[in-house]
Amino acid sequence: MTALRTIVLGSTSPYRRSLLERLRIPFETASPEVAEDRLPEETPRALAERLAREKAANVATRYPDALVIGSDQSAGVGERVLSKPGDHKRAAEQLAALSGQSVVFHTGVCLIDTASGREWIGVVPFTVHMREFDEDEIDRYLRLERPYDCSGSFKSEGLGVSLFRRMEGDDPTALVGLPLIRVCAWLREAGVTLPPARP
């Protein structure tokens, strides 16, 4: 019975943890030990897919009978990958360059059943079309939300939505960092009951 299976989120991201908590199933978290450097000529999509698999595979080695979820997100404008800014100056520069642009968030996700060796992997894209905004708007936004740990320098689940013209995609949770529609489908294939039975 799947209630006996351990589910592990291979991530220390508070955003991903909060998303997985929506499913109301017990899970553990583990930190993947994976270098996140981009390979030469690697596209944003390929980067997200590779890192999602590497994170799941790394954590899977520590759990011999579990369902391990790994995920990674890469934001890009065309083939240019957007980084996490880290500070106000870089965030302001990044947002200024994104004014009026379309940003595609590629969220890679991988589920590994360590008991059977079965693996599911894919990338869920989500596009944010930014409106045009000026330096004052950028500065006000950054000082209020301080999204310095977010690729693209904005939080879609917060005030960042005020910078958007429209959004486009099949799963809004992919934009936050973990595509729950895809995760739910794979967990059901792995035998997990969703929605869960009452305790």
Length of the chain: 199
Can you read off the two tokens belonging to residue 109? Answer: 């996700």
Q: Is the dihedral of CA 32, 36, 41, 47 positive or negative?
A: positive
Q: Running DSSP on this structure, what letter comes out for residue 147?
A: -
- Integer Cα distance of 192 and 138 in angstroms: 44
- Integer Cα distance of 183 and 178 in angstroms: 8
Catalytic residue numbers, as ranges: 72
Cβ atoms 94, 133 nearer than 8 A: no
- Helices 14-21 and 180-189: crossing angle in degrees, nearest 10, is 60
- Helices 135-145 and 88-98: crossing angle in degrees, nearest 10, is 130
Q: What is the DSSP string of 53-90?
A: HHHHHHHHTT-TTEEEEEEEEEEEETTEEEPP--SHHH
